Amino acid sequence: MAELPNCPQCSSPYTYEDGLQLVCPECGYEWTATDEVSEQETLEVKDANGNPLQDGDTVTIVKDLKVKGSSMPLKIGTKVKGIRLVDGDHNIDCKIPGFGAMQLKSEFVKKN
């Protein structure tokens, strides 16, 4: 059996489990067990087909995209290597040869 954590209120070692909760008999504090350090919230980014994307993936642009500050559009079929997922409206950070660093929306790419 896993060892129960001490009471966060009074540090009592006599805590016990009551269903999903932990209870301290000394001070009466009740809390929910969370021994495992919760993982860092992972970004959920999906491509045009609904497949999950990950940092480092290679994707293909599925739609001609206008690029701010450039007269050339980003062409459908352009491969983008080593994407990095970020939080926000444009949720992919990447570098594209000929364009440099830019941000894309995941809905306009598909995973290779």
Cβ–Cβ < 8 Å for 92, 103:
yes
Q: Which of 14, 16, 21, 27 binds Zn ion (CB under 5 A)?
A: 27
Nearest approach in angstroms of CB 1 to Zn ion is 20
Q: Which is nearer to Zn ion, 23 or 65 (CB)?
A: 23
Cβ–Cβ < 8 Å for 52, 45:
yes
Taking CB under 5 A as the rule, does residue 76 contact Zn ion? Answer: no
Q: Which is nearer to Zn ion, 29 or 99 (CB)?
A: 29
Which residues here bind Zn ion, judged by CB under 5 A? 7, 9-10, 12, 24, 26-27, 29
